[in-house]
Amino acid sequence: MRAVVLGAGVSGLACAVELAERGVAVEVLERGERLGAGCCSWYAGGMLAPWCERESTEPLVAALGAESLAWWPAKFPGTVLRGSLVVAHGRDAGELRQFARRTERYQWLESEGVGALEPDLAGRFSQALYFPEEGHLDPRAALTALAARLEGLGTTIRFGADAAACGERAIAAHAAGGAVIDCRGLEARDVLPDLRGVKGEMLLVKLPDVSLSRPVRVLHPRVPVYIVPRGDGHYMIGATMIESDQPTRITARSMLELLGAAYALHPAFGEAEIVEIGTGVRPAFPDNLPRVCRIGGTVYVNGLYRHGFLLAPALARHAAEQVLGADHSPEVMHEGSRQRRLA
């Protein structure tokens, strides 16, 4: 069987891997000239945090995310499974209690526990939530690893393949009895009109003086921020959530808020070198939940919102099973299906 995957973001690459490993001859068409160009996935934090995300989303996201946690280390050995930490300053202690009430699979830590996990945060927080089963990865390294894996499986990623070429190839693939999986993110609005963009701004900084070994979320009533270690003294600071589909440059307010939160986590961030400022636009449906659905013979994987790396493996499995006719839970994640049965 042959399949064409449209888009080489995290969803497209995960779908291509799942199909190629099942023996399908896959071709990936990507509009950008190189991996990451014009792709939301390039700017992600890379947190694999089903239970932290559960605080603000539906059980489906945590369930799919938990499934995906086992996939990443198998496909990308750089995946780090050291858990994640949620902290709040004294005046925001209520935020921490509220966060805990909305989720599960965490441990309460006192100040000593925080210092034992992250020595550079010793004495800075009297309480924290520790989610030991969570993980994180460097999204760019992970995408590169998936692309290399596809190459090893004989799959070609064609860069610079524009929409028109995609359409022609998709029609050809259909005509030849093959499958088309559309993972174009926000660009799929021509077929999925209720998709919207949620802009996210991020910073990459270098700060060799501070060592953190797991993502740390800093709760705040107005500006919750997280910091993800990228290794070699680099940290990703993210991320804003702005209802906009324009990948415009970061605003001064966002920059102040992100840096202010990092500085509040540890004043040494005031000395950090700003390496990169980035903006990505997350593809989201009105309910902020993902969908795998079939329209006119094409399978669409979309609406990964703020959980693309967390959800892509599980969604890719569903998509591959739909393509191969092995999905025995066809109602899973179809449009409008709130009463989902989890496979």
Ligand X SMILES: Cc1cc2nc3c(=O)[nH]c(=O)nc-3n(C[C@H](O)[C@H](O)[C@H](O)COP(=O)(O)OP(=O)(O)OC[C@H]3O[C@@H](n4cnc5c(N)ncnc54)[C@H](O)[C@@H]3O)c2cc1C
Residues making contact with ligand X (CB under 6 A): 6-12, 29-32, 38-41, 43-47, 161, 163, 166, 183-185, 187, 200, 202, 238-239, 280, 282-283, 304-310
| Cβ 211 to ligand X shortest distance, Å | 20
**CB nearer to ligand X: pick between 43 and 130:** 43
| CA distances from residue 316 to 235, 290, 308, 334 in whole angstroms, order as listed | 29, 11, 11, 14
Going by C-alpha positions, the residue among 325, 122, 313 that lies closest to residue 210 is 122
Residue nearest to ligand X (CB): 9
Confirm if 18 and 74 have CB atoms less than 8 A apart.
no
**CB nearer to ligand X: pick between 128 and 181:** 181
| Cβ 247 to ligand X shortest distance, Å | 9
Whole-angstrom Cα distance, residue 77 to residue 98? 35
**CB nearer to ligand X: pick between 32 and 233:** 32
| Cβ 111 to ligand X shortest distance, Å | 27
**CB nearer to ligand X: pick between 136 and 266:** 136
Which H or E element spans position 277?
strand 273-284
The torsion of the CA quartet 114, 118, 122, 124, rounded to 10 degrees, works out to -70
| Cβ 279 to ligand X shortest distance, Å | 7
User: Could you tell me what percentage of the chain is helix, strand and coil, using 3-state DSSP and rounding each to the nearest 5?
Assistant: 40, 25, 35
**CB nearer to ligand X: pick between 109 and 139:** 139
Whole-angstrom Cα distance, residue 84 to residue 63? 18
| Cβ 91 to ligand X shortest distance, Å | 26
Whole-angstrom Cα distance, residue 134 to residue 201? 23
Residue 319 is encoded by which pair of tokens? Answer: 């998509």
**CB nearer to ligand X: pick between 127 and 157:** 157
| Cβ 127 to ligand X shortest distance, Å | 24
| Cβ 314 to ligand X shortest distance, Å | 11
**CB nearer to ligand X: pick between 127 and 240:** 240
| CA distances from residue 298 to 161, 183, 215, 333 in whole angstroms, order as listed | 18, 10, 37, 15
Query: Which residues lie closer than 8 Å to 216 by C-beta, 6 or more apart?
Result: 84, 85, 86, 87, 118, 121, 226, 227, 265
**CB nearer to ligand X: pick between 116 and 295:** 295
The position carrying tokens 């919102």 is 305
The position carrying tokens 């605003």 is 251
**CB nearer to ligand X: pick between 46 and 127:** 46
| Cβ 228 to ligand X shortest distance, Å | 7
* DSSP-assigned states of every residue in 69-114: HHHHHHH-TT-B-S-EEEEE-GGGHHHHHHHHHT--S-EEEEHHHH
Going by C-alpha positions, the residue among 260, 259, 288 that lies closest to residue 274 is 259
| Cβ 244 to ligand X shortest distance, Å | 12
